[in-house]
Structures are given as structure tokens and as C-alpha cells.
Amino acid sequence: MAKGFNKGPQMGGQAGMMQQLQRLQQQMEEAQAKLAEETVTATAGGGAIKVVMTGDQKCQSVEISPDFMKDADAEMLQDMVLSAVNMALDQSRELQQKLMGPLAGGLPF
């Protein structure tokens, strides 16, 4: 067999692709860690309900104004909390897309 028969340009390409995938994996892990630290805040009812959520969609807090509780019935309160949580989820997903989206474009396929 000739010297270097198994060392064609394809071998270098595979090694380069593996390095690129490893860099991409590291960047993804860094972006995920950053998402876990960043927060978004959504409000409903003119600020009477406030929801804080992380970039990785974990709800950190829900605040309800005591003044709102005086006049609100249970159904209204439920609707406002649901609305604020859904808005926070949307904002969190947008943040996730902003941080993770560019990384998906770096896949070597």
C-alpha cells in the first residue's frame, strides 16, 4: 500500500469539522449558562401583576399588588397572572432566540 494512502484531504476535513463542532458545543453551553442568568419581566393589569422569568424559561417570581387584590375577583386575578406569565415566556423565548439563533447558523452541515 502506498504511503499516506489513508491520509487524504477527507481526514483533515473530518478533524476540522470535529473541532468546529466542539467549538460550537462550547458556545452553546456558554449561551445556555448566560440564559440561565438573564431575566425578563412582564407585567399585566397596569403593573398590578409582575412576573420575572429567566432566559431558560424558569419563573423566578410572581408579584401581585396588594391594592389589586382589594378589587379583583379570583377569575380576574387568574387571567392577569396567566397573561403576565405568557408574556414573560414569550420574552424569554425571544431572548433565547437572540442568543442561540446565531449558533444554529454555525452548524457545518
Looking at residue 71, what is its pLDDT?
80
- Rounded to the nearest 10 degrees, the angle between the axes of helix 74-104 and helix 9-37 is 150
Listed by start position, the domains of the chain span 12-103
Looking at residue 79, what is its pLDDT?
94
Overall average pLDDT of the 43-66 stretch: 94
Per-residue pLDDT of 6-31, as tens digits, reads 554 555 678 888 888 888 888 888 88
Q: How far apart are CA 38 and CA 29, in angstroms?
A: 14
Q: How far is CA 30 from the centre of its chain?
A: 12
- Answer CATH for 12-103 from 3.40.720.10, 3.40.50.360, 3.30.1310.10, 3.90.1570.10: 3.30.1310.10
Per-residue pLDDT of 80-106, as tens digits, reads 999 999 999 999 999 988 888 777 665
Looking at residue 3, what is its pLDDT?
56
